[in-house]
Amino acid sequence: MYPEYLVAPMKAELTSHGFEELLTPAEVESALNEKGTTLLMINSVCGCSAGSARPGVLMAVHNSKKVPDHLTTTFAGFDIDAVKQARAHLLPYPPSSPAIALFKDGKVVHMIERHMIEGRPAQMIAANLIKAFETYCGETVVEQA
């Protein structure tokens, strides 16, 4: 398990932009069974999370005309039980961190695994997610800062 001082800034990169932290299995269950669309980012300390996944997710959320109803995150190697519960919802996809999943009415409709993140720029991750948002999300408009 990683120390809190190490993961806190990486968590804040998402939570400061409206992502809800899922810290317990019960919170995961509640969030992933919500009606509508839910974006889940399994965050990580790795370089591909810092360089591509987190920036790509934020670009997508801030630049898409349609966005998920709920933005959620949990942290691999820190929120152990919550991540284990989240991964149960991601089957048949193997455990992956980072990972980005879009749920609609409790079912995975779009998945980006680590091997799809590694070596790719944040802009590519964002474009992939924006396309998924346009396909599965409602007409929510993001306020531009």
Active-site residue, from 7, 10, 32, 48? 48
Active-site residue, from 28, 40, 46, 117? 46
Check: CB of residue 13 under 8 Å from CB of residue 60: no
Q: Which residues of 11-31 are buried (b: 16+ CB within 10 A; e: fewer)?
A: bebbeeeebebbeebebbbeb
In angstroms, the CA 35 to CA 103 distance is: 9
Is 48 among the residues known to form the active site?
yes
Is 46 among the residues known to form the active site?
yes
| Active-site amino acid positions | 46, 48
